[in-house]
Amino acid sequence: MLQQMITACPLDCWDGCSVIATVEEGRVTALSGNPAHPITRGFLCDKTTRYPQRAYSPGRILYPMRRRAGDERHCSEAFERITWEEALGLAARTIRETVAQCGSRAILHFQGSGSMGLLKKLSLRFFNLLGGVTEPSGDICFGAGTAAMEHSFGEQAAHSPEDILNSKLVVLWGRDPFTSNSHLLPFLREARRRGAALVSINPRRLDRSRLFDRQLQPVPGHDVFLALALLREFIEREWCDGPFLSGCTAGWEEFAAFARQRSTAEWLAPSGIGHGDFTHLAALYHQKRPAAIWIGSGLQHHLLGVETVAAIGALAAAAGSVPGGGLSFYPRHRQRFDMSWITPHPAARNRVVPEGDFWRHLPALDPPIRMAWINGINPVRTLPDSNAVAECLGSLPFVAAVDFHWTDTVLAADLVLPHVSFLEESGPVSSYGHNYVAWQQAVAERVGEARTDLEIFQALAERLGFGEKMQGSEREWTERLLAPLFQDAGLRDKFFREGFIENPLLARVPFHNRVFSTADGKFRFPAPFAADPARLPKPATEFPLRLVCCKSRRHLNSQQEIAGEPLCYDVRLHPRTAAIEQLTENCMVHVISPMGRIPARLELDDSVREDMALMPVSGSRARGTSLNLLIPAVMAGGGSCPAYNAAFVRLEPVQ
């Protein structure tokens, strides 16, 4: 008998979709978008539509697995099946011995955003109850932007997509809705129909559908100079919002003096943007009000990632666009939830290491790391310098990994625990692209012996003596964490009945009263910073092309089976660049950096700049195709996130 059930997609994506699952005899046969959801609007991206193929793949990990004694890591044949009792006993014994011998901070807990489900954060409760462990700091996707936004605005923030319809100008800066934010497109198209101007700022021309009035393609990593040139132009033409600057901000005079140190033309030159495109954009941003800027993650993945977002924020504030159309990064739902459940132990003393190059910092730690617990992330594949990450994990006495497919990280583990697919678990899901919170309801019977993270940590807590502090069903924990939203019982009932609600504590227009989340309630301009283009990495004769990473339309980050991957991925090159290098369409090439080489198929694409090679975030270390085999572990400001786009390469034909 066919059933249709409402659930939600928790995958690491802007859109946080409400999903209708078609279920037959406990098995999901199809997924579609919920037409009642104001953002999902009845359609899903390709990645979610095809998710059942991953959920029912023969390559799923179905049972607990242990590496056989003496067998080398990074080989799936080195594992043997064990029972859950054996697996939990081994994990609990290793945790207990590590804490007794070295203290709880000798445990490295590495958790990512493979699932955006809120209950995943209960792993932090477990490790805090244990006494506090070593955890990564920063954020490999948004760390640079977060640092800049928290300084200036006091928190990460974004307008609701619905507010785009009130804007006369929408600038997408480093954001590609065709690949990773497709549910923004209906709002952009409707805004254009209502007369708004749309501009894209991206090293790649995004589409040929004429959605955008103008597309600017700056030199990758040099967006900060375009933002400062715009700010300098506004100062020179006296377009700045004086009343807002004098009454609602701090640090304006110092930052304005910094902007005046160079002329508009001097700031603009390193960006690679021509005078005509620049003056058109400046005039639009001045004349079209409200004007909205929506930033993405790619522009942060450079050495000046923090400074770039800070400069864009400064431009928006000086122009009087805050709140107005605003600067949208991502809404901070979790600051409105009851996160006190996550940090229950006042004596817990966590230790942090930068996430992007954590392996560099482990040798200096005291006590040293004796074991690692990894869930919700595949660091060997997602962090730069994959070989260094794999070697680091391989050097640790014990590594436990929780996943539902074999990955480069799982292959580096000693203990592997099978996790359910998102169709098989329940919990709340918040989006970082809109203001709605969804109920991810289990809609399918479980496959094999897979368990949820919550069940695994509850079982371990029982063995370690604090089981009662982790007790609670998925629904009970949902009600605890979302209690601030459920003050209205009607909202709670609607959430579980209809599958989503709009977060009542999150404004559609943040800072609408011009009071910010900083200590004094004012927008804080950044301190003047070093903005010398000569300090940035440059192409060399041996490596003339900047490697730019992009999202794939077919898979989400590292969430792809090693066994199902192609032998290589595409690298996109401008036809004129390919002609100079005597490379032809569809030829096989090696993409080579100072770090190593990977194979690729050449695709000619005149939408990319002539000085860059574009590749999707893809590949695996096990098959020698991982993009991160080419990318050094260079960090953006303060170690906030990796500068993924700071690598240079050359292409050579495969002989």
Q: How confident is the model at residue 346 (pLDDT cuts 50, 70, 90)?
A: low
From 305, 329, 353, give the residue that closes a domain. 329
pLDDT for 73 equals 65
Task: CATH number of the domain at 248, please.
Answer: 3.40.228.10
Q: Is the pTM value of this prediction over 0.85?
A: yes
Does pLDDT of 349 surpass 90?
no
Average pLDDT in the 79-99 region? Answer: 98
Return the bridge partners of 8, or none.
18
Give the mean model confidence (pLDDT) for residues 6-29: 96
Q: How far apart are CA 393 and CA 384, in angstroms?
A: 14
CATH number, domain containing residue 69: 3.40.50.740
How far is Cα 395 from Cα 133, in angstroms, rounded to an integer?
A: 19
Does 315 reside within a domain? yes
Q: What is the DSSP letter of 447?
A: P
Q: What is the mean pLDDT of residues 402-417?
A: 95
Give start and end residues of each alpha helix (H) in 30-156: 46-49, 51-55, 84-102, 122-130, 143-152
* Judgement on whether residues 559 and 618 belong to the same structural domain of the protein: yes
Q: What percent of the chain has pLDDT over 70?
A: 96
The reply to whether 174 and 103 lie within a common domain is no
Sign of the CA dihedral running 349, 353, 359, 364: negative
Measured CA to CA, the distance from residue 585 to residue 573 in angstroms comes to 9
CA dist 467 and 423 (Å) reads 26
Q: Which one, of 303, 325, 302, lies nearest residue 315 by Cα?
A: 325
> According to the model, what pLDDT value does residue 180 have?
87
User: Does 19 reside within a domain?
Assistant: no
Mean pLDDT of all residues in 344-369: 89
Show which of 329, 353, 378 is a domain's final residue: 329
Write the DSSP string, 378-441.
Answer: -HHHHSSSHHHHHHHHHHSSEEEEEESB--TTGGG-SEEEEB--GGG--EEEE-SSSSEEEEE-
Examine the domain organization and report whether 131 and 229 are in the same domain.
Answer: no
Asked if residue 231 is part of any domain, the answer here is yes
What one-character-per-residue DSSP string does 330-377 give? ---GGGGS-GGGT---TT---EEEESTTHHHHGGG-SSPP-EEEEES-
Residue 179 lies in a domain: yes
**Pair 354, 467 in one domain:** yes
Handedness of CA 646, 652, 654, 655 (dihedral sign): negative
Instruction: Among 297, 329, 361, give the residue marking a domain's end.
Output: 329
Residue 556 has pLDDT above 90, yes or no: no
Q: What is the CATH number of the domain that holds 579?
A: 2.40.40.20
Q: Which three-class secondary structure state does DSSP give residue 187?
A: helix
How many angstroms separate the Cα of 404 from the Cα of each of 54, 74, 408? 9, 16, 13
* Residues 344 and 466 grouped into a single domain: yes
Instruction: Please name which of 55, 58, 88 lies closest in space to residue 445, comparing C-alpha atoms.
Output: 55
Which residue type, as a one-letter code, is found at position 155?
E
User: Mean of the per-residue pLDDT values for the chain?
Assistant: 94
Instruction: Kindly tell me the sign of the dihedral angle through the C-alpha atoms of 34, 36, 37, 39.
Output: positive
Q: Give the CA count within 13 Å in the CB-facing half-sphere of 597.
A: 13
Contact 583, 551 (CB under 8 A): no
Taken in order 277, 610, 613, 546, the sign of the CA dihedral is negative
Question: Residue 555 — pLDDT band, cuts 50, 70, 90?
Answer: low
pLDDT at 496: 98
User: Domain containing 105: what range?
Assistant: 65-139+339-423+449-472
Q: Predicted confidence band at 638 (pLDDT cuts at 50, 70, 90)?
A: confident
pLDDT of the residue at 541? 94
3-class state of residue 246 by DSSP: helix
User: Which backbone phi and psi does 651 adopt, to 5 degrees?
Assistant: -115, 135
Co-location of 282 and 386 in the same domain: no
Helix (H, G, I), strand (E, B) or coil at 85: helix
State whether 304 and 162 are in the same domain: yes
pLDDT in tens, 38-52: 999 999 999 999 999
Q: Are residues 416 and 291 in the same domain?
A: no
Task: For tokens 């023969």, name the residue.
Answer: 58
Span between the terminal Cα atoms of the chain, in Å: 56
Residue 312 lies in a domain: yes
- In 3D space, the residue among 94, 123, 125 whose CA is nearest the CA of residue 110 turns out to be 123
| In the block, residue with structure tokens 């003050």 | 487
How many domains does one find in the chain? Answer: 3
Identify whether residues 603 and 544 lie together within a single domain.
yes
Helix (H) or strand (E) holding 321: none
Q: Whose CA is closest to 378, among 617, 575, 187, 597?
A: 617
Q: Are residues 186 and 77 in the same domain?
A: no
| 108-164 pLDDT tens trace | 999 998 889 999 999 999 999 999 999 999 888 889 999 999 999 999 899 999 999
Quick one: three-class SS letters along 495-545? Answer: HHHHCEEECCCCCCCCCCCCCCCCCCCCEECCCCCCCCHHHCCCCCCCCCE
Amino acid at the residue 70 = G
Residue 344's pLDDT band (cuts 50, 70, 90) = low
- Which tens digit of pLDDT belongs to each residue from 455-479? 999 999 999 999 999 999 999 999 9
Given this model, what pLDDT does residue 567 score?
83
Residue 37 lies in a domain: no
